[in-house]
Amino acid sequence: MSVSSSATVTRLDVQAVKDYLLSLQDHICSALESVEPTVRFKEDAWDRPNGGGGRTRVIAGGEVIEKGGVNFSHVMGDNLPPSATVDRPELAGGRFEAMGVSLVIHPNNPFAPTSHANVRLFVVYKDDMAPVWWFGGGFDLTPYYGFDQDCIHWHQTAYDAVEPFGEGYYTRFKKWCDEYFYLKHRGEVLVALVVCSLMTLMKVLLSIASA
């Protein structure tokens, strides 16, 4: 899912978005640590030779969490790779920067699903045009044992998160996910408990970016 600069917001404050994403990483890590009596995240701060860097955080060996990672990255480059401009050839040769937070959490309990989420900002700069930017992201669960009540709770939570921003978002993004995770040779959706919709977070980021 993505929200692009074709929306009504046209001014972008990249630093404000970066500050928010760093605080989001901190918030998620603190929340996860609150369920663990002793283990804590270990951080590896890194720099990218071609520009940028990030904070990789890993937690392992907990009573609740077997292993998990909550990572932030911010990278930039002088030229977009060809694969990134197939659908937007006018952006070829542009400079770029990308940042985001991503996570994967594996619990010890096999009845609790693995969770994944990410949110990201991508910006392209060219001398002959205004910056082109968009937000993207999604979240999903991978259950090992499926339960109807868990499925209902998951989808209801996703629905409640996007409903305040307008009718139809849940249905639209749910359809995208079902198509993305569909296994043609098996005739089924790969992950039963999937909704790709970070609309709440996207709206927050849009408001921060244009503040």
Active-site residue list = 116
Give SS3 for 68. strand
Q: What are phi and psi of 189, to 5 degrees?
A: -80, 135
Question: Rounded to whole angstroms, how far apart are CA atoms 12 and 4?
Answer: 11
Pairing assessment for the beta strands 114-126 and 188-189 based on DSSP bridges = unpaired
Q: Which residue has the tokens 């998160």?
A: 161
**CB distance 70 to 57 below 8 Å:** yes
Question: Rounded to whole angstroms, how far apart are CA atoms 143 and 115?
Answer: 9
